[in-house]
Amino acid sequence: MIIRPASPQDAEAMVTLQNEIIRIGGTTAYQTPRAAVDMLRYIAGASVVSCHLADEDGLILGFQSISRSTPLPEDWGDIGTFVQPGLQAKGIGGALFAASLASARAAGLQVLNATIRADNVPGLAYYGKCGFVEYESQPDWVLADGRKVGRVSRRFDL
């Protein structure tokens, strides 16, 4: 497995991975399938700090992006992580996070924010293992389909 920056040519494979996660449900706030053009916002959008992916012989095992977003402060980055279903807790996320940390520091960020569905047990465990700590909770947050799942925001101070 190699960790490398994502490129626009990876968008189709990345959206396939993300759409599988959406189809399964339970770990992302996205509920409708995405298109490759949506991935370009993770890879090369104006607010992107970095986007890394885990590649094994041309198969995308996961990806992680950091972007600046409102209403977060300018020196904060918003992080999102997607790992191929069935491959969680096998070191992919940790390897991606190491690369993302280096990019975040190089960009001068001071804090990383992860906002996670409160019912996403694997996601909460992953960010906890990385050292993120809770700073905000929205127990009444609802998905687009009206289900109340809540969400938790965690921070990692660089």
Helix axes 11-24, 36-44, angle to 10 degrees: 110
Please report whether residue 140 resides in a domain: no
Please report whether residue 62 resides in a domain: yes
Mean pLDDT (whole number) for 54-73: 90
pLDDT classification of 89: cutoffs 50, 70, 90: low
pLDDT classification of 2: cutoffs 50, 70, 90: very high
Mean pLDDT (whole number) for 110-131: 91
Total structural domains in the chain? 1
CATH of the domain at 83: 3.40.630.30
Please report whether residue 80 resides in a domain: yes
Please report whether residue 151 resides in a domain: no
pLDDT classification of 21: cutoffs 50, 70, 90: confident
* Range of the structural domain that residue 69 is part of: 2-112
Please report whether residue 136 resides in a domain: no
The answer to pTM > 0.85 is: yes
Whole-number pLDDT of residue 87: 61
Helix axes 92-106, 121-130, angle to 10 degrees: 50
**In this structure, what token pair is assigned to residue 80?**
């999102």
**Strand positions, DSSP E, 46-132:** 48-56, 59-67, 76-83, 111-117
Nearest to 97, CA basis, from 85, 84, 114, 110: 114
Q: How far apart are the C-alpha atoms of 105 and 57, rounded to whole Å?
A: 29
